[in-house]
Amino acid sequence: NAGVTQTPKFRILKIGQSMTLQCAQDMNHNYMYWYRQDPGMGLKLIYYSVGAGITDKGEVPNGYNVSRSTTEDFPLRLELAAPSQTSVYFCASSYAGTSGATGSYEQYFGPGTRLTVT
């Protein structure tokens, strides 16, 4: 399995441009997530999805949009890029269920996309 893959690895955008960050997973996970990580900070949730056709806002959704048409893919769209969106973006996925009382909700992370908006 490739796990969680993200493209591109790096991107530089000009203010006002738009782009889509791609994320795919081959583990048949029904939960998928987008986080952003600013320098020296923790990860903040942008959007998440509990299954195809279902998405919900996280902590910092403004300026972003998502869609989930298949179980495997969860693209993140940036419209009208702003310098405040300069960050590293991580996609993650997890299996919704757990194995008994001590089961894990482990999230598997992709390698990240480093985005700079100038």
Partner 1 sequence: GENVEQHPSTLSVQEGDSAVIKCTYSDSASNYFPWYKQELGKGPQLIIDIRSNVGEKKDQRIAVTLNKTAKHFSLHITETQPEDSAVYFCAAYRSRRALTFGSGTRLQVQP
Q: Which stretches of the chain bind partner 1, using CB under 8 A?
A: 4, 33, 35, 40-45, 48, 50, 58-59, 90, 92, 101-107, 109-112
Tokens for 52? 């195809």
CB of 96 to partner 1, least distance (A): 8
Phi/psi at 72 (5° precision): -80, -30
Picking from 50, 51, 33, the residue whose alpha carbon sits closest to that of residue 89 is 33
Which residue number, 16 or 103, has a Cβ lying nearer to partner 1?
103
Query: Smallest distance from the beta carbon of 22 to partner 1, in angstroms?
Result: 15
Q: What SS3 state is found at 77?
A: strand
